[in-house]
Structures are given as C-alpha cells and as structure tokens.
Amino acid sequence: MNTPRFVAWTHGREFQATRAELDGLPLIFEGDRMNVWGSEHFISIKDQGCLVGHLFTRSLPSRRITSFSKAEADRIIASKGASLIREYWGGYAAFLQTRLGVTRIVRDPSGTLPVYWRRVADEVVLAAELGRMPFRREDGLRVDSDALATFLWSPQFAGRQTCIAGVSELLPGFAIDFVAKQAIEKCLWSPWDYVGTCHRSAVDNAEMLRSIVLDTIRGWSSCFESILLGMSGGLDSTIVAAALANAGATTHGLTMFGPDHNGDERSYATIAADAFGISLRAEAYSDWPARLDTPVVSDSPRPFLAHFVQPIAHVRDQIFREKSLDAFFSGNGGDNVFCSLNSVTPIVDRILARNRPGAIIETFGDVARLTNADMFTIGRFVLARFAKRRRELTNGDASFLDPDRLARAAAHMSPHPWLEAKPGTLPGANVHIRKLRHALGNDGFHSRATHPPSIAPLLAQPIVELCLTIPSWQWVGGGVDRSVAHKAFSGLIPKALLERKSGGGPSGFVHQLYHQNEAVVLRRLQSGFLQEHGILSASGDALRSHVRAGYHSLNAQRLLALLAADTWANHWERG
C-alpha cells in the first residue's frame, strides 16, 4: 500500500522498545526518547530521527527526495526541523531527537499527512489516524461535547483541539516539542508571512502560477503509478487534470452526479476528460449507499458532516480494487487557494493600499462585472465595510444549537492561530487566509492502512505561498473569478471550461436524501447524543415545528449534518 502512516511513542516503555512491529508497521527509528513505527515512505535523518511521507526540493523543476546527504541532515538537525519548511515541500511528518533532551515533531504546511497525539500514562503517542491502538474507543477515548458543539457552530474555529477528549492535532506548519513531560507548540510556518509581499503584475503572477502548479503536480504524480481524479469540469479539477496529462501520469477520472440539473456536471467533466485523454466514469449519488445510521467516516477525530461522502467512498473503493489505484487526487482547495471572491473586498483593499484613483475605479468595474451589481450598490457595501472594520474571528452557523450551551462551549476553546489577523494587513489577506483554513482538515474517507492516500495537490506549499502574495484585486481582474488562475491556464484548458460561469454540486442529492428520510432524521435528533448533552436548542415536537415554521433549502443540509455528528458521537460513546 502506497500510503504513508506511522505510530510514534515518546518516553517509550521497555516492551514498546523491543517490538519490531506495531500495528503492522516495522520499527523505522529507535531512539533513547522516542520510537517510530512507519510505512515504507521514510527517510532517516542520521541517527537522530526520521521523516515519514513524501518530500520534494524547492527547486524548479523539483526533485523527489528519498535520502538526505550528510549536509542536508546536519541542517535539519541544527535547525530542529525548520530547514525542512524552508528547503523542501511535500506531505510529511518529521521526528527528531535533539542533543538538548528535546523530542520534536514537525508537520508540513499542506497538512497532507495528519498528526494526532495523546498522553498515555507518562508517555505521548502520535499517529496519522484514529481507530487503531491506542486511538480507539476500546482505549477509553470519548467525545468532547464542548469541542463538538463548537465544531457544529464553526468547523474552522478550533485549533489543535479535536472532538475527541484528550486527542490533539499538530497543526500544519507547526512543531511540537516534548521535553520534561511538557508539550510546547511552535509555529514554523504561517500564511501571514506571505501576504502583502507581491509587486509583480498579474501577467507575471499567472506565468509563475502555471510553472509552479505544473511542477508540483508533476512531482506528486511521480510518486504514484495509477491515479483516480475526481472531475467536475470546474476550474480546479480541470487544472489538476491538465497538469497530470502534462506529466504523463496514468489517470482515471470519476464524476458524481445528482438528481437535479445543477448537480449533473457530466457534460463539463467529459469535455475535460476528452481534452486530456482521461477515461471518465460517471456515477449517480443515488445508486450508492448513503446510510443515516452509521457515521459518514467512523474513526475520524471530528465528524464528517456530509452524507454525500458515503457514495463517493463506495465508488472509490470499487475503482481502487478494479484498477489497483495508488492515489486519490482532487481539485479540493482550489477555490480557497485561488481566492474565489464575490464581494467588495478588492475595492476596499485598493483604497487602503492608497492605489491611484484610476486603479480603484478599474477594480470597481471588475467587481461590478463579477457580481452583476450596479455601482450604487457596490459603493454602499464599500462604505458599510469601512464603517465596520473590525471582523469577528470567524462566522459560524448557530442554527438549531442552544445559544447558552454554545457560549459556554466556545469559551473553553482556543481559536485557530491563523484566524487572528496580522496588524497592518489588508482585509483581502484576512479573507484569503480564512478560505485557506476552510480547505484544510479533510484527511480522506478511508483508513490509511487499507486504501491509497488522498492528495489535494493544489494545497502544495509552493502554490499556496505564491497565491498568498497576490493581492485580492488581481484575483478579480477583468471581472473574472480566480482571474490569475484563468490567465495561467488559458490555452491549456478548453475554452468552454474557462468560460464556465457556474458550478454544480451534491445539494440536490442532499435535499432528496433529507426529504426521503425526514421523519427518521427528526426522530433520531430528538433522543441522541446532541440532545442528551444540551447541544440542540429544541427537542421533540418543538424541533419539528421549528423546521416547518422556518423551512428553507439549507435546513435539509443542516439537519443532516447534525444527524451525522450525532451518529458519529454515538459511535465513539456506545460503539
């Protein structure tokens, strides 16, 4: 199996130190303060640690790293892992023992390889996924109801806290030091370090973006012999398809469609597949199981809230077995990285940056074309933004949640460090980084022990760093959403897809699933974990009345999400 995974113990007990294998993984590093068991995807860092995952140089073209020279290893050790962030990119976790008595773990900025940790007696154990010893219900793990309530309000708010009590996540771009039984987190990479640093034209940025995207996806594709790409015919997945074709990768395509017109993107996906010589398989969501009585993903540290994931996982599983796949690729995160905007933020940024009047007027016109709004309406929204400059840390959805219970829960949670804006930065940078935060946290739908890895190549560190430097007004240039990305791939992507104005999605399937099962959804929410822990604002007939009194299309999605969280919690609490 071509999927990186690991289990690591610090302050290892004697019986752990003598085990050559743990959870089917061989011992790949044995130190005096830490042992690491891992998959075949590891690189030794002299006798002081190892790296698990995929690693590439920051050069153009990039090169995959499978071993370190003495000089490279010395720099990694001397910098306590910081040189990994500066000189390389990829999807990895690094484990280091320093001579100063510190055990350090580093996670790369893309978040491709998860790192979760918990204390077991006087030790710390880390792993790439839950559901395996000692991260199981049988090991005493239970739900943190405060974290779950906060997550249901805003999945992006929390930092390292998961929804499982005692289990923390090492955030992307962070390191954690274990010393003298203390755990000390340190930020090695922040998106705020890259905003406001661009003085290039949109044309130059587009050329750089094209080169970096093609190179990073070529690098990722070189690690896998057979790839399944999720295809919608939208900009992001089509860029990935174009880059995979450019790299000569063996790629199979999958598009899922719903019962409504907006949810059927087969015609667009077919255009992309034909353009790049990809065999395309189309499957209806409704032809595959979407069970309401089981978690969407059972052993995740936070609940998956979208039931449409289940049909996708079933189809992926079948194709994996038919085609001997090595990886699942997607365009996930493209909207976020390419800063999809539909607001007056670029105008506000232009004014605050004290750009010349002609440039400000130009961006007024771009926003007008993009949003189909008149100048008076746009001006009113700009003035409103200046009247309220202070933004909340995050916007959440409190519908159907008990407000007092939510307030108590959120008071106990530490916000994600990226959510606090850096002083002196423009509002567009704040919006962009929040979007980036939204893109992270999808660890895949399958166990890493049994299935290929899920790769979102557009979240690669070099792509993200470049895109963060680009000002918001360039992303709406010419009245085109994600304008720089459009410029970058003009001539490589079919014109019909570049000119596409709207996207589809599974919302029609979600609404159908809800209406077919409304009685079941409401009945289970009336007596489940969320109700027992006071997280929901209404119970019994009151919940049903509330739904009917204020029904709109988003209620179906919201109530199914609450049921998904409830089912997930019951799995961890009751098995």
CA dist., res. 455 & res. 474, Å (int): 28
pLDDT(169) > 90: yes
- Do both 381 and 464 map to the same domain? no
Asked whether residue 247 falls in the same domain as residue 284, the answer is yes
Q: Give exposure, 124-158, as e/b (b: 16+ Cβ within 10 Å).
A: bbbbbbbbbebbebeeebebbbbbbbbbbbbbbbb
Domain-located, residue 140: no
Name the band, by pLDDT with cuts 50, 70 and 90, for residue 554.
low
Helix, coil or strand: residue 533: coil
Shared domain for 427 and 443, answered yes or no, is no
Whole-number Å distance between alpha carbons of 567 and 253: 31
Contact (Cβ atoms closer than 8 angstroms) between residue 239 and residue 213: yes
Does residue 283 surpass a pLDDT of 60? yes
Asked whether residue 553 carries a pLDDT value surpassing 50, the answer given is yes
Question: 503: pLDDT confidence band, cut at 50, 70 and 90?
Answer: confident
Q: What is the pLDDT of residues 102-113, one digit of tens each?
A: 899 999 999 999
Residues 28 and 174 in one domain: yes
Q: How confident is the model at residue 296 (pLDDT cuts 50, 70, 90)?
A: very high
Domain end, chosen from 444, 478, 498, is at 498
**Does 138 fall in a domain?**
no
| 154 in a structural domain | no
91: CATH: 3.60.20.10
- Give the pLDDT mean for 250-258: 97
State the pLDDT at residue 172: 97
What pLDDT does 539 receive?
A: 62
For the chain, how many helices (H) and strands (E)?
A: 23, 18
Question: Whose CA is closest to 115, among 191, 2, 5?
Answer: 5
Residue-level pLDDT at 436: 95
Instruction: State how far the Cα of 31 lies from the Cα of 49, in Å rounded to an integer.
Output: 8
Q: What is the mean pLDDT of the chain?
A: 92
The reply to whether 264 falls in a domain is yes
Residue (of 87, 110, 53) closest to 467 by Cα position? 110
Identify whether residues 426 and 475 lie together within a single domain: no
Co-location of 107 and 125 in the same domain:
yes
Does a structural domain hold residue 135? no
Count of domains observed in the chain: 4
Tell me if 139 is assigned to some domain: no
Within a domain: 251? yes
The whole domain housing 518 covers 507-574
Comparing C-alpha atoms, which of 462, 475, 572 is closest to residue 194? Answer: 462
So what's the pLDDT on residue 15? 43
In this structure, the strands spanning 34-38 and 42-44 are unpaired
Q: For residues 211 and 321, state if they share a domain.
A: yes
Confidence of residue 21 (pLDDT cuts 50, 70, 90): confident
pLDDT at 23: 80
Compute the average pLDDT of residues 259-282. 95
Check residue 547 and give its pLDDT.
59
- Residue 392 falls inside a structural domain: yes
Domain shared by 491 and 548, yes or no: no
Per residue in 458-468, pLDDT tens? Answer: 999 999 999 99
* Average pLDDT of the residues in 266-292: 96
pLDDT at 422 exceeding the cut of 60: yes
C-alpha torsion angle, residues 297, 294, 8, 92 (rounded to 10): 0
pLDDT at 548: 59
Same domain membership, residue 108 and residue 19: yes
Separation between Cα atoms, residue 491 and residue 20, nearest integer Å: 54
pLDDT at 138 over 70: yes
Whether residues 444 and 416 share a domain: the answer is no
- Give the pLDDT confidence score for residue 32 in this predicted structure: 87
Q: What is the mean pLDDT of residues 170-179?
A: 95
DSSP string, 552-566: -HHHHHHHHHHHHHH
Average pLDDT over residues 265-293: 96
80 and 185 assigned to the same domain: yes
Query: What per-residue confidence (pLDDT) applies to 98?
Result: 85
Q: Percent of the chain, pLDDT > 90?
A: 79
**Are 185 and 197 part of one and the same domain?**
no
Please state which of the ranges 50-64, 483-497, 544-558 shows the lowest mean pLDDT: 544-558
pLDDT score of 390: 62
Which of 170, 174, 169 has the alpha carbon at shortest distance from 186?
Answer: 174
Distances (CA, A) of 272 to 74, 181, 456, 485: 46, 53, 18, 16
